[in-house]
Amino acid sequence: MEDERPALADGEIPSAPPTPPIKIVLYDDQELFGRLHRRWQANTGAWMYRVSVTLWAAVQLGGREVSEPSDVEFDVPSTHVRPVAGVDYRDVPMRRHREAVVRARTGRRPPPAPAPDATGARPRPPERRSPDRWTLQRLRIAYDASGPRPAVVHRAGCFVSDERTALTTDQALEALARPGVRACDTCGADEGLQEIRRQRGTGAVSDPWQEPGAGGERRRA
């Protein structure tokens, strides 16, 4: 289902979608006011709300470090937002997930969650990824910093990574062997690569820092 917005006339410039105020309930039951940007549906059928709050952030202006308001966006489950009295939310963009629409039309249900094992932990679902299922995030450092540039290996699609370079499994293993590189523990890349490393050696593989056609010269920055 497409975003429910009226069609534009020829040559008409689209206006920015509204961002009405909304009350957000945090995980510890604190409440704060933010802005609602859009509503979207996950493949399970659950609804998520993309919201933003304005916090303080340190920035450099003319060589001076100062504090300025900065908007931070994040997704909140529909169970943890509350409408503000008198506010109209009808024009906020809304998008349904294709799989949820198909299930609603056919009556099919999503697959059940895997049962917990003897320790109470739920096993990871089987992966359905391409062979290049890892990404490399190079972290920012000060211009005068010494030593290797830090980096983090993630599973493809990890939500905490924004700057990404696709890696094969072999390249991810080699990257981890470099100083300053670690695997992400949020998406489970650390456990996944550790298990692969136990099952087989890393071996000699291609270099993820190699520039195409660079004649063996490596890029570090």
pTM for the whole structure: 0.44
Q: 53, 29, 45, 37: which is closest to 3 by C-alpha?
A: 37
Contacts of 96 (CB under 8 A, 6+ apart): 1, 41
**Same domain, yes or no: 78 and 141:** no
Residue 218 within a domain? no
Place of tokens 């992966």: 127
User: Of residues 14 and 166, which shows the higher confidence score?
Assistant: 166
Residue 96 within a domain? yes
- Distance CA(82)–CA(60), nearest Å, equals 36
Provide the domain limits for residue 185: 134-199
pLDDT of residue 36: 94
Q: Convert the pLDDT of each residue in 106-148 to its tens digit.
A: 766 666 666 666 776 656 555 444 444 788 888 777 666 777 8
H/E segment holding residue 194: helix 189-199
Mean pLDDT of the chain: 76
Residue 10 within a domain? no
> Considering its fold, how many domains does the chain have in total?
2
3-state secondary structure of 176: helix
User: Of residues 101 and 143, which shows the higher confidence score?
Assistant: 101
Contact 32, 26 (CB under 8 A): yes
Distance of CA 4 to the CA centre of its chain: 25
Place of tokens 């609603």: 104
- Distance CA(63)–CA(65), nearest Å, equals 7
**Same domain, yes or no: 76 and 139:** no
